[in-house]
Amino acid sequence: MTVCRKKPPARSCKAPSPAPLDPVVFTALRRDYHTRWGVALVAVDPEGRPVLGGRRGITEAQRECWRRLVWEAWRWGEPSLALAPDGTLACGVPLMRNQTLLGGLVTGGLSATACARGTADGAPNAAEDLLDRVLARDLTNRAHLLRQREAARRERERAEAIHAIKESGYDTLREAYLREEPALLATVKRGDRRAAREILNRLLVGIYHLAGNRLDLLKSLTLELVVMLYRAAVEAGARPTELLGMNYDGLRTLSEIEDEEQLCHWLISLLERLMDGIRAYRDHPNTVLLQQALRHMSLHLDRALSRDEVAQVACLSPSHFSHLLQQKVGQSFRDILQEMRIDRATELLRRNALSIAAIARQCGFRDPSHFGKVFLRRRGMTPLAYRHRHTAPTAPHELTRK
Under the phi-then-psi rule, with left for phi > 0, alpha for psi from -120 to 50, and beta for the rest, what region is 263? alpha
- What is the average per-residue pLDDT within 187-203? 74
8 A C-beta contact, residue 205 and residue 221: no
pLDDT at 65: 93
pLDDT at 393 over 80: no
pLDDT at 17: 46
Quick: pLDDT tens for 283-328.
Answer: 455 666 777 788 888 888 988 899 988 887 776 778 888 888 888 8
Strands (E) across 235-289 are located at: none
Looking at per-residue confidence, does 359 or 247 come out higher? 359
pLDDT at 46 over 90: yes
> How far out from the chain centre does Cα 298 lie?
30
8 A C-beta contact, residue 209 and residue 167: no
CA distance 368 to 373: 9
The order of strands in the sheet holding 50-52 is 2-3, 80-83, 89-97, 100-110, 41-44, 50-52
- What is the average per-residue pLDDT within 6-13? 47
Q: Count other Cβ atoms within 10 Å, centred on residue 115.
A: 18
pLDDT at 237: 60
Q: Please, which pLDDT band fits residue 3 given cuts at 50, 70 and 90?
A: low
- What is the average per-residue pLDDT within 108-126? 73
DSSP class of residue 1 equals: -
pLDDT at 121 over 60: no
Instruction: Please provide the average confidence, as pLDDT, over all residues in the chain.
Output: 78
- Residue 21 has phi, psi (to 5 degrees) of -155, 165
DSSP class of residue 328 equals: I
- Identify any residues that bridge with 83 across adjacent strands, giving them in sequence order: 89
- What is the average per-residue pLDDT within 41-65? 88
Q: Please, which pLDDT band fits residue 107 given cuts at 50, 70 and 90?
A: very high
pLDDT at 278 over 70: no
pTM (predicted TM-score): 0.45
Any idea which of 137-141, 173-177, 253-257, 392-396 has the lowest mean pLDDT?
A: 392-396
CA distance 27 to 337: 74
8 A C-beta contact, residue 187 and residue 196: yes
pLDDT at 395: 42
- What is the average per-residue pLDDT within 51-75? 88
pLDDT at 215: 76
pLDDT at 108: 87
- What is the average per-residue pLDDT within 54-76? 88
Cβ-count burial 62-81 (b if 16+ within 10 Å, e if not): bbebbbbbbbbbbbbbbbbb
Quick: pLDDT tens for 71-80.
Answer: 999 998 999 9
